[in-house]
Amino acid sequence: LPYPHDTLAPVIDERTMQIHHGKHHQAYVDNLNRAVAASPALAGQSLEALLAQVSKAGDAVRNNGGGHWNHTFFWESMTRPGQGGAPSQSLLAAINRDFGSLEQFKVAFKAAGLGRFGSGWSWLIMLPDGKLKVVSTPNQDNPLMDVVGERGLPLLGNDLWEHAYYLQYQNRRGDYLDA
C-alpha cells in the first residue's frame, strides 16, 4: 500500500483499508501465485500479458490476476482527501469532449457503479480510437481482459464489492460512490 491505512479517512476508514488491502488483496496475490506455480506455461509473463489472454489461462488467473491488478490500480489512484488534484488539462479536455463536462462524467461513473448488480468494478477507459467511455465489469474482470465486452485502457476504476465499503457505508453504495 503506497500510504498508511488511515490516509483515505474519512472517505474510506482505516479498518476497511486494513482488511481490504491486508486480507482481500493479499488473498488474490496468494491465489494468483498458486495458480501460476501450478501451471508452468503461465510463469514468466507479465500480469498484463496474462490478462490480455486470460480466456486461455483459466478462472483462477482471471479472478485472482484480475483481483491483484484491479486493487493495485485502485490503491494507486487514490490519495489523502483534499490532496487529489483536478484532471490534467488533456484528460479534462477529453472528458468534456466525450461526456459534456466533469460533472456529467461523475454522474455517468456513479450510475455505472449503482447499476452493477452484485460485485464488480466501474471504469473510465480509453478505447483504441482515443474516445473515453464509462463501463462496468462483473467480479474481478477488467477492461484489459479478452473476456469482457468492451476492452480499453483503464484510466480510473472503482471497487463495487461490498467489502470495499460495507463497514462504513453498509448498504449505502451510492454514498460510497459520492464520497
- Residue 120 and residue 43: Cα distance in Å, rounded? 27
- Residue 40 and residue 21: Cα distance in Å, rounded? 28
Nearer to Mn ion, 51 or 164 (CB): 164
> Is 1 in contact with 16 (CB distance < 8 Å)?
no
Q: How many CA atoms lie within 13 A of 61 on its CB side?
A: 26
Nearer to Mn ion, 72 or 96 (CB): 72
- Residue 152 and residue 130: Cα distance in Å, rounded? 9
Nearer to Mn ion, 54 or 164 (CB): 164
Nearer to Mn ion, 98 or 159 (CB): 159
The CB-of-67 to Mn ion minimum distance in angstroms stands at 7
Q: Which residue of this chain has its Cβ atom nearest to Mn ion in the complex?
A: 159
Helices (runs of H) and strands (runs of E) counted in the chain: 8, 3
The CB-of-72 to Mn ion minimum distance in angstroms stands at 11
The CB-of-25 to Mn ion minimum distance in angstroms stands at 7
The CB-of-2 to Mn ion minimum distance in angstroms stands at 16
The CB-of-160 to Mn ion minimum distance in angstroms stands at 9
Nearer to Mn ion, 42 or 160 (CB): 160
Beta strands (DSSP E) in 12-145 are 120-126, 132-138
C-alpha cell of residue 82: 483534499
Q: Comparing C-alpha atoms, which of 126, 95, 93, 92 is closest to residue 108?
A: 95
The DSSP call for residue 22 is I
Binding residues for Mn ion, rule: CB under 5 A, are 159, 161, 164
